[in-house]
């Protein structure tokens, strides 16, 4: 992949890629990144690239011509038409989904604005998409362009020193990471969690998964809800496929303790205690989740008693059948 940054401060960009992991990726030939000075394309006799806004007002506006010529000169060096992006506080906010999408392109041109903005016509003429890096005000598009470059570069094969980091990342996709610890085992009286010293890799994985859920639930409840929603939708569609159900089904959910879930998995529990005022009735489909809300089983209620329901297990995913 090739990334070109059109800017009034090319040295600022070059300094950053020299020093960073992106710089290593460039040196090792996994990605090409160039910075171009928009000022080199000015046709103004004083080399100006900005002028007063029509209609009056403070500040200066970057003129269309130097930006246009700079982008066209860069485009001509690309084998296939690159995607043109204008870093703008009015753009769509950059997300990891967007980064993954951009990482698949063979070429990107990033336009950095400054002053009070850019003449609107050049953005239209170039059909540039606008991307912001968040809802706060910076002095220019250079730092945003470098953020985008960094995020896209690290997804190019070969750029990250440890490619394994990838598979971990996809496993915890949509969740925050579990906490990490290194030596010493005790620091300022704070111990490393026992399980990490146990050497029991399966237990370590379980702990990390649980911590990942716990941390996300606490720090990013929005991400957590989205994660549970995705898991649940996937779970339901797998159930429907396996049960050859195509129509609409209403599901209730019940969160159960790990102990009770274990009994159910082994076929050793046939009823669940519920509140007197619960509206669960015979024939209802229920998703049983763990205490985090992660779906585990689907059951159908076979009998409603005052404080409990009896059920029949309809669905347990493949991976729930094997382990313990
Ligand atoms: C008239 C002043 N501004 C309205 C608040 C317009 C303005 C234009 C350009 C304000 C800041 C900038 C410089 N910022 C960027 O070019 C920019 C940016 C940002 O400021 N925040 C988040 N993402 C981005 S991407 C480019």
Distance from residue 88's CA to the centre of ligand 1 (Å):
6
Distance from residue 138's CA to the centre of ligand 1 (Å):
5
Three-class secondary structure assignment of 13-70: HHHHHHHCHHHHHHHCCCCEEEEEEHHHHCCCCCCCCEECCCCCCCCCEECHHHHHHH
Ligand 1, atom 5, lies closest to the CA of 137
Give the residue among 287, 317, 12, 276 at the shortest CA–CA distance from 142: 12
| 306/84 Cα distance (integer angstroms) | 65
Indicate if ligand 1 lies below 6 Å from the C-beta of 8.
Answer: no
Distance from residue 8's CA to the centre of ligand 1 (Å):
15
The per-residue pLDDT for 319 is 73
Indicate if ligand 1 lies below 6 Å from the C-beta of 136.
Answer: yes
Are 19 and 28 in contact by the 8 Å Cβ rule? The answer is: no
Per-residue pLDDT of the chain (324 residues; tens, 9 = 90+): 999 999 999 999 999 989 988 999 999 999 999 999 999 999 999 999 999 999 999 999 999 999 999 999 999 999 999 999 999 999 999 999 999 999 999 999 999 999 789 999 999 999 999 999 999 999 999 999 999 999 999 999 999 987 765 554 656 779 999 999 999 999 999 999 999 999 999 999 999 999 999 999 999 999 999 999 999 999 999 999 999 999 999 999 999 999 999 999 999 999 999 999 999 999 999 999 999 999 999 999 999 999 999 999 999 998 765 444
Please count the other Cβ atoms lying within 10 Å of the Cβ belonging to residue 235.
20
Nearest ligand 1 atom to the CA of 133 is 23
Indicate if ligand 1 lies below 6 Å from the C-beta of 148.
Answer: no
Q: Model-level pTM?
A: 0.89
Indicate if ligand 1 lies below 6 Å from the C-beta of 7.
Answer: no
Indicate if ligand 1 lies below 6 Å from the C-beta of 140.
Answer: yes
């Amino acid at each position: 992949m090739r990334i070109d940054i059109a800017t009034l401060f090319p040295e600022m960009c070059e300094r950053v890629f020299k020093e960073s992991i992106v710089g290593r990726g460039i040196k090792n030939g996994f990605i090409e990144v160039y910075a171009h000075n928009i000022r080199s394309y000015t046709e103004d006799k004083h080399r100006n690239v900005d002028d007063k806004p029509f209609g009056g007002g403070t500040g200066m506006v970057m003129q269309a011509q130097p930006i246009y010529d700079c982008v066209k000169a860069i485009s001509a060096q690309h084998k296939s038409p690159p995607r043109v992006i204008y870093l703008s506080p009015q753009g769509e906010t950059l997300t990891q989904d967007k980064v993954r999408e951009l990482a698949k392109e063979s070429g990107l041109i990033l336009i950095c604005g400054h002053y009070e903005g850019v003449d609107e016509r050049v953005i239209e003429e170039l059909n540039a998409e606008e991307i912001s890096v968040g809802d706060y005000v910076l002095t220019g598009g250079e730092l945003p362009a470098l953020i985008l470059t960094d995020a896209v570069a690290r997804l190019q094969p070969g750029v990250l020193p440890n490619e394994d980091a990838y598979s971990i990342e996809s496993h915890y996709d949509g969740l925050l990471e579990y906490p990490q610890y290194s030596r010493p085992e005790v620091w300022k009286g704070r111990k490393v969690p026992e399980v990490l010293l146990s050497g029991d890799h399966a237990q370590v994985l379980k702990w990390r998964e649980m911590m990942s859920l716990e941390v996300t639930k606490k720090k990013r409840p929005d991400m957590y809800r989205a994660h549970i929603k995705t898991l649940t939708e996937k779970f339901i569609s797998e159930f429907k496929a396996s049960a050859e159900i195509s129509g609409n089904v209403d599901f209730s959910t019940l969160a159960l303790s790990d102990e009770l879930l274990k009994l159910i998995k082994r076929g050793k529990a046939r009823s669940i205690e519920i509140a007197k005022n619960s509206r669960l009735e015979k024939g209802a489909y229920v998703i049983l989740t763990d205490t985090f809300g992660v779906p585990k089983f689907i059951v159908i209620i076979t009998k409603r008693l005052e404080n409990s329901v009896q059920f029949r297990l309809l669905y347990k995913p493949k991976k729930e059948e094997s382990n313990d």
